[in-house]
Structures are given as C-alpha cells and as structure tokens.
Structure 1
Amino acid sequence: MSTGSTGSLLPKWQLAILLGAPIALGLGYLYYRNQTTKLCEDASDTGKKKISNSKDKSISLDGDDKMLKEKSEPKPQSELEKAIAFKNDGNSRFKSGKYNEAIEFYNKAIDTCPKTHPLDLSTFYQNRAAAYEQLKKWAAVKEDCTSALELNSRYVKALYRRAKACEHTNDLVSSLDDITATCILEGFQNSNSLEFADRVLKDMGRRDAKEAFSKRQVVYPSANFIKTYFAAYINDPLTKNSNDDADYADDSGLSRAKKGLKDAKYDDIIAACTDEITSPESSEKRKLEARLLRGTFKLLIGLMDEATQDFDYIVDSSDADINMKVNALVKRASLNVQNDQHQKGFEDFEIAEKIDPQNADIFHQRGQVFVLLEKHVEALSDFNTAVALAPEHCPAVVQKCYAEYRFATIVQNQVQIYNAIQATHRAVEKFPNNLECYNILAQILSEQQQFDKADELFEKAINLQPSQASLYVHRGLLHLQWTGDITKSMELLQKAIEVDNKCELAYETLGTIQVQRGALENAIELFETALKLSRSELEMVHIYSLRNAAIAQLNVAKKLGLDLSSLSAVSQVGFA
C-alpha cells in the first residue's frame, strides 16, 4: 500500500490516456469516461442503447420505415420488395410491443428474401433477434444473430446483441469476443459498448482471479520492494531497534527470522517464525513478535487469510503491548483494503487511533489509502497529522506534498499548485538520498509538462539506487508522454525487468504498450507473468482484465482479418 517508489501515482485511466490507448480495451472505458464530461445516455443518434435500458425498442431495429406503403398502393412485385414489406410490418408490430406478431412477419421476410441479397437477409435475422430479446429467448437471439453475422461478419448491431445474449447465458468468453469486435468496428467511440466491455472484463477478471488466486504459487517480492515497505513505517516494532546484537545471539526461531530480516534473506523467515511460535521454551512476548513478523510476510506474499489470523491473534491478545497491537491493526487495515473491504480497513484504523492517537504510522498509512481512493481532502488531513507527529519521516512529508498538489489541481488553485510544487522541491533538498522524494516530484513535474526536469530527477534517483525497478517504469512512461518514443520507453521497461525480474508493474505496463502496438501475443505473455507476481486477488482481477482483453482482440483480429497494429483506426461498419 504505497503511492511512492513501490508503485505508480498514476490512476489506471491516466495510464490509458498516457498510452493513447482506448485500443487497450481493458482500459478503454476508463479512458473514454475521463476524456468526456458526460457519457451519452441517449444513444438513439448512433443506433445503440444501454444494456440496462430496454425502453426505447425502436433503436433495436434496422430498415427504412419510409418504405412502408399505404394500403391503397399496389403491392410490391419482386420477392425482395415483398420481403421488405414483411419486415416493415414486423417493425411496426415490434414498436407496438407485439413481439410474437413481429416474429411472424420477420419469418415471412426471411422465407421470402432471395438468397442473392445477403445484406437484406442479415437485417431480417437481426430484427427477429431483437424481438426474441424482448421475450428473453436468449438461445434464439444467439442463433439469429449468428445467422446475420454469417451473412455480414461486420454487422455491429448483431455483434452487440449476441454479446448481450451471451452475457445473459453466462458465456462470458463469447460475450467478450463479440463486444470487443463491436468496440473495434465502432472505433472505440461508443460509450455504451465500452461500458459493456468494461463490465464483462471485470466479471471475467473476478471469476478468473478467484480461481487462480487459490491455486497460485507463492512468490516473494524483490528485496527492494520489501525494504521500501518497511521503510514506510516509523514505529514498526519489527525494525525499531533492530540493530541490537542481542536479537541474533541464539539459534531460536525468532532470532533466525530477525537476522534474515536484517540481512535481506527473506525466504526462511516464515518457517523460522513458526518454529518460535510452536516452541515450548518460547515466551509469550517472543511468540507475539514472531506472529507479527510472520503475519507481515504472509501479507507481503499474498497469503491474506493466514496473515489475518496472525494479526487477529495479536489484536486480541492482552499480552501485546500498545505499539505491537497498533502495528497489527494498521497492517490488517491495509490487508482489508487490498481485499476491497474498505469499511473493515477503516474500522481497524479507527481502533488503532483510539489506542494510540500519537502513532504517526496510523495517519501516514491511512493517508496513502485515501490517495489511492482519490479522496484527497481526507488524505491531506491524515498526512498533516502524520508529519506533525513525525516531522523527520520522509515518506509522510513528501506524500503530504503530493496530497496538497492533488487537492490544488482538483480545485484549480494555481497558487496552491505552485506552493505544493515548491514544498516538494524542499522535501528533495531535505532528504537528498530518498527515492520517494525524487519519484513524486518527477511525476508532479511531468503532469505539469516539465518533462525535461522530471527526466533529470528520475536520472538522479536511478543513479542513487540503480536496482529500483519502478523508477525505470515511471521514466519509461515519462518518455512515452514526453516524446512518444515507444522504443525508448520499452528499453526502460526492459531495464526495469533486468534489474528486478519480480517487478509486476513493469510487466503490466510493458504488456499494455504491446497491446497498443498490436503485439497481442507478446502482451498476453507479459500479463501472464504479471499474474504470477500478483500479491492480491484484487490486483489479479485488473491484470486478468487486461489479459482477457488482449486475447479477445487477438481472436477478433483473426476472425475479421484485421491488421493488429491499426485496430483503433477501424471505422464502424454496419447498418444505420
């Protein structure tokens, strides 16, 4: 749970815009939503409608009603004219809500239409599918839409309608393929289609993540990640006074675990803590410390339920001191937020604050959560308290600057924006060896279009700690925004992976760029790697959405014979 050097300050929709990527379908709806001030709720002008709104049924139909003839006029002579007349009669019944009667006329239109007119015939099948949809006969909807698409493979309305039918029958893979094709053929310009795709991707992502997370192989984060995590705490009993040689004087489980923490040899820490907890010679105080260390590492590797059990034990123990209990509550709060249980997380923060309102970690960690939730007023309040309690704690100081900047941009106060930027400069001067300061100031400056200065800051930070992979990721994104140089950006992202092959952010970002470039097969491989490194089910939901979007685009490109490198340029094809 960090907005600094362990992660990205950019919300996902900003990443989408940075990559110029409604093409990255997993980010496409967020891109569209934040590029427009208002979603088009009335889609009648484009011949589309929201999935949840079926009141305007006329927009479901194709065909020119002007072709309807007065009864006094002579009947059509050709078979095609007869078929069109039947279709028009069906449209009239449809608009009156007489769906079964409409279907009878569409049947006649289909039976009458010459096979030499495939586009007209596809329209009749699509209109009959619209009537079946109103009757919730989803199998018939899919069958008729498939018939329409066999006659016209780029028929947008038929694709969209079949996607809905597949969603209703829980065939999410087919639904995603069809709505992806719809988005591509519409040039990613229809908000309803993008919202539909976003919903299906999330549903699939939740399903896939739930199944995969329970079966995943545990992977420890990199040493840099773990060190940065502990550095974000000022009152963590696990690292406070950790240089006492007495901590490592014997061969007990706790001593081995604490020595592993000190020497950055993390793989055996959980087992060593378990030895301490199960030792009959160990005191309750040492067992509590071992539980806190074990729970922390289980949190770091994504064993959320087991971590919760350790934190619960400490919180409920009458033998745990105040600092240990507060630390367990704060970490449990972070865990709950990562599991998308925000209310439980904030309840833990409140309990911790009541126990020890002078502990800066409570306010600093909760402030970070508020930033991630884009609640900047609340974040600023917590960071102010954290800095007042711990004025020399660099992460709190610089993240307070960021919260001030974020709030100032929301209210569009130029004076406050300037003051926040200057405060961040002062933080860099005060803490010249802290990567968090450089990282945050660089990202603020890049948002202010001061790309050259931001790049200089990233370069300085990389020189300070060349093994910090996330710095290369952020610098790569900077160059993408600054110069549009995808090659340079990819080189920096590859460097991030080179220095830390466990940097999930690098794989995810590189995969998203590869989607943008049309290299979907490589993008899928990168997302698969990112999934193996994910530490929470919620994180996996997002990455599965990106992976599934790439798979769907690859499927659609093959089916429709599209150039993968220019999908976003495809114009809408279909009937009005």
Structure 2
Amino acid sequence: MMRKRFKMLFISRLLLLSGVIFATIAEAQTLRSAEEYMKRGDARYDRGDMDGAIADFTIAIDMASRLAPRRRKIGDAWKEEEAMRAAAGFSNARVIDPRAAAAYSNRANARYAKGDAEGALADLDQALSISPRLAIAFYNRGTIYANQEKINAALADFDRAIKIDPRMADAYHNRGNLKYLSKNLDGALADYNKAIELNPRRAETYDNRGLARENKGDLAGAVVDYSKAIELFSKAVKINPRIAVAYLNRGVIYMLQKNDSAARRDFDECLRFNKEMQLVLERRIKEVQQRRAASR
C-alpha cells in the first residue's frame, strides 16, 4: 500500500523584478519609493508580520500602477533610451512594470501565509495577467492548488513553471509529489532525480524519493535516500522535524531487511526527535511484523 505523507513546498517570496520600461526622472523617483515598500514588505514577511507585509505590497502596487503604461523598446530605440537614462543620472535606477507583477506575487505569498488561499490565488492570477512568463507565480499557484487537492490544475501550473524555468528544482519536487500521489512512481522518480540534480542539498527530496523507491521495491535505494535525508536534516542550523520521519522510514526498511538492531536504533532516534510519533511508530512496526510473518 502506498503511503501519503507529502507537504508541498511554497517559495516564500519573489524579489523585485527589473523592468524594461523607460521612465522620466519623476517616474523613477516614484518607482524607487515603490521598491522601498517592496523591500520593507519582504522584511516584514521574514519577521512573520504578514499584515504589515500585505500593507506594504499593496502600497507598492498602487504606486507602481500610477505610472502611465509605456511600450517596450527594442533594438536601437532601447539603446537610445538607455543612454538617456544614464545622462539623467538614473543608470542604476530599478524600474518596475507599472502593473506591479512582483508586488502582486509577493502579496499573494503573505496572504497565503495568513490562510487566505483565495486572496493569494487572485493576486497570482493578477501577476500572471501582467507577466505571463512569471515562473514563480505558476509555481506558487500550483502549490496552492496542490494543497487544495486540485491535482490537474496543480500539475498544469508546475508544467508551465518548468517550461519557463527548467532549472526550478522545487517545481520538479512538487510535481514529483503529485505524480507519486497519482501512483505514477516512474514519473515521480524522474522528477525527484531532476530536482536532486538541480539542488542536491534539499533533504525533503531525498526523503520523498526514498519513499517512492520503497514503494517500487527498491529497498537498498530507499535506505540510501533516507540516509542522505537524515544527513542533510542533521546539518541544518535548525533541525527539521521531518528528520524523525526519515529515521522512521529507514528503520522500517531495516526491519524489512531483518536488520532489527539497526531498525531499533533508528526508531529510538525517531522518538528522540519527536515523541509524538510513538503511535505511528507502533503501527508501522506492526505492519512490518505482519508482512514478515506472511512471507515465511
């Protein structure tokens, strides 16, 4: 029986996007002010002040949206405008899209952190209407859909995010989770492999790949992955509570391999990190004992 115990990853915030729209000196000043609200909103988000972050991102959206839309410049026309900006002393000014895709995306993250999934989805829809190639917005919207168990919509958004940014490791990780839950183990393994190739330091991906390998019958491969997950979890500045799950999973594999002493050590570590897993541990041990008895 396949076990389901995934939690989707949600990227915390999107940094301010640089635009390709020329602005007058007055407009550049307005944009710098909008950027300041974006930065303060980011800082408030990091401190856990979601109400403050939402307020700042809302102001940034309002300020950026006051600018008159300007057509994008390419070729020699754009080079000429770059020269004009440099002559005006604003060569380093960061000019954002007046429709504020980045601010909408950031505000979506803060709303989601407050439990307002529908508000977050509305903001991500707005961000994507402004910037249809904003991979992180597709990724975050897909994550919300996944947590709402809207699997097809989530898969479609992860596909789009990966198509736009083929190096987004978290999108492969989350898409792998959905494929696993859909019992597409080969597809899940392919996505976990790619996620690990792009980001070999994410413990959760090894943990999840270990689960997929276990369900494919590759117990040796599962032990390797659970061991790597434990190693990476242990190196974190703040111990991730999922390390207890990784110890539990590896212990189960050791039991299936009849290495009971190793299993016992892992189960002890599991409870050392999370005593509340006692009942889960007892149930899993019983399941393995039944499997071993049936195979005699």
Q: Taking structure 1 as the reference length, what is the TM-score of the superposition?
A: 0.32
User: 1:522 and 1:448, CA in 2 relative to 1: closer, same or farther beyond 3 A?
Assistant: closer
Structure 2 match to 1:496: 229
User: 1:334 and 1:568, CA in 2 relative to 1: closer, same or farther beyond 3 A?
Assistant: farther
Q: Which runs of 5+ in 1 are unaligned?
A: 1-14, 20-227, 241-319, 337-344, 410-416, 529-542, 558-562, 571-576
Q: Which SS does the other structure have where 2:200 is aligned?
A: coil
Larger Rg computed on CA atoms? 1
User: 1:327 and 1:389, CA in 2 relative to 1: closer, same or farther beyond 3 A?
Assistant: farther
What is the identity percentage for the equivalent residue pairs of Structure 1 and Structure 2? 17
CA contact (8 A) 1:445 1:454 kept: yes
Q: Which SS does the other structure have where 2:235 is aligned?
A: coil
Deviation of the 1:455 alpha carbon: 0.9
Q: Which SS does the other structure have where 1:433 is aligned?
A: coil
Structure 1 match to 2:160: 426
User: 1:373 and 1:444, CA in 2 relative to 1: closer, same or farther beyond 3 A?
Assistant: farther
User: 1:333 and 1:448, CA in 2 relative to 1: closer, same or farther beyond 3 A?
Assistant: same
Q: 1: CA distance between counterparts of 2:285 and 2:280? A: 11
**Residue type matched to 1:451 in 2?**
L
Alignment of structure 1 residues 295-444 onto 2, 5 Å: 321-336=33-48, 345-357=49-61, 359-368=100-109, 376-407=117-148, 409=150, 417-444=151-178
Alignment of structure 1 residues 137-536 onto 2, 5 Å: 232-235=13-16, 321-336=33-48, 345-357=49-61, 359-368=100-109, 376-407=117-148, 409=150, 417-480=151-214, 482-483=215-216, 487-498=220-231, 501-503=234-236, 504-505=239-240, 507-513=243-249, 519=263, 521-525=265-269
Q: 2: CA distance between counterparts of 1:401 and 1:553? A: 30
Q: Which SS does the other structure have where 1:466 is aligned?
A: coil
Q: 2: CA distance between counterparts of 1:485 and 1:370? A: 41
User: 1:433 and 1:354, CA in 2 relative to 1: closer, same or farther beyond 3 A?
Assistant: closer
Q: Which SS does the other structure have where 1:488 is aligned?
A: helix
**Residue type matched to 1:387 in 2?**
L
Q: Which SS does the other structure have where 1:356 is aligned?
A: helix
Q: Which runs of 5+ in 2 are unaligned?
A: 19-31, 65-99, 291-296
**Residue type matched to 1:511 in 2?**
Y
Alignment of structure 1 residues 538-549 onto 2, 5 Å: 546-547=274-275, 549=277
CA contact (8 A) 2:179 2:185 kept: yes
**Residue type matched to 1:398 in 2?**
Y
Q: For 1:408-446, what per-residue CA distance to the aligned partner results, in whole angstroms no more than 9, with x for missing partners?
A: 63xxxxxxx545423432322221122122122212222
CA contact (8 A) 1:376 1:406 kept: no
Structure 2 match to 1:566: 286
Q: Greater relative contact order (Cα 8 A, min sep 6): structure 1 or 2?
A: 1
Q: 2: CA distance between counterparts of 1:349 and 1:405? A: 25
Q: 1: CA distance between counterparts of 2:125 and 2:235? A: 34
Q: Taking structure 2 as the reference length, what is the TM-score of the superposition?
A: 0.57
CA contact (8 A) 1:514 1:520 kept: no
Q: 1: CA distance between counterparts of 2:207 and 2:288? A: 25
Q: For 1:315-344, what per-residue CA distance to the aligned partner results, in whole angstroms no more than 9, with x for missing partners?
A: xxxxx95423432333323432xxxxxxxx
Q: Which SS does the other structure have where 2:193 is aligned?
A: helix
Structure 2 match to 1:181: none
CA contact (8 A) 1:395 1:436 kept: no
CA contact (8 A) 2:44 2:50 kept: no
Q: How many residues align?
A: 224
Q: For 1:69-93, what per-residue CA distance to the aligned partner results, in whole angstroms no more than 9, with x for missing partners?
A: xxxxxxxxxxxxxxxxxxxxxxxxx
**Residue type matched to 2:243 in 1?**
Y
Deviation of the 1:456 alpha carbon: 0.9
User: 1:362 and 1:565, CA in 2 relative to 1: closer, same or farther beyond 3 A?
Assistant: same
